[in-house]
Structure 1
């Protein structure tokens, strides 16, 4: 007789970096930071990312899949579990990065929605 214990408490989604702040940016200098979503495969059509305010000069986009995993049957080369925040900030202020979506379920758990908010301090040179 086999006994299985399943834990269904808490979220299985985690983020890297874990903190709520991304590295600081400087006005007029190139900025690049990545965010990784762990705990399951992100559902592409439900994934959304935004950087506010819009006029700060930073934007969010999905990473590209590594070339070694892309085949002729690959439908999309976007890696929905990885987000790049980049740009050249035009003015000082605080940017808010909102990462939201859902991960696919499996036979042991249902799909799960997630929402994570990061801040970036944009400083003058």
Structure 2
């Protein structure tokens, strides 16, 4: 009886673990052109992404772009700084190359839920604009 109760408890509690899924699922975002406006959106599914603050009390993103001098930046969707489940990549790329967009963080949890961390890196290939030599 104890064994079956223990096994049952494990199944119930394992169902409470949050797991991140991403849209888009692939690791590549669509290509960009130097000098042309770029926009892409990443949605994090599976739970409510925690809002992080730095030592100054400022809200931080759940991601970053590297290298940082590419002309692209991260923004919240719908101008809601508390909604970290949706991230936009915007800007005008200034040079060709490969850009990495790292999205990482964790979900807010409730009782009987295990905290779930996530980490995914996307790449954007920036190409020369059409007609340039």
TM value normalised by structure 2: 0.75
Cα distance in 2 between the residues matched to 1:63 and 1:121: 23
Larger radius of gyration: 2
Structure having the higher helix fraction is 2
Cα distance in 2 between the residues matched to 1:11 and 1:117: 19
Structure having the higher strand fraction is 1
Cα distance in 2 between the residues matched to 1:19 and 1:87: 21
Instruction: Write the deviation string for residues 55-94 of structure 1: whole angstroms up to 9, x where unpaired.
Output: 11111122126xxxxxxxxxxx322100000100001000
Unaligned runs of 5+ in 1: 66-76
Which residue, out of 73, 77, 90, partners 1:86? Answer: 90
Cα distance in 2 between the residues matched to 1:84 and 1:32: 7
TM value normalised by structure 1: 0.80
Q: May I ask how many residue pairs the two structures share in their alignment?
A: 112
Unaligned runs of 5+ in 2: 1-7, 54-60
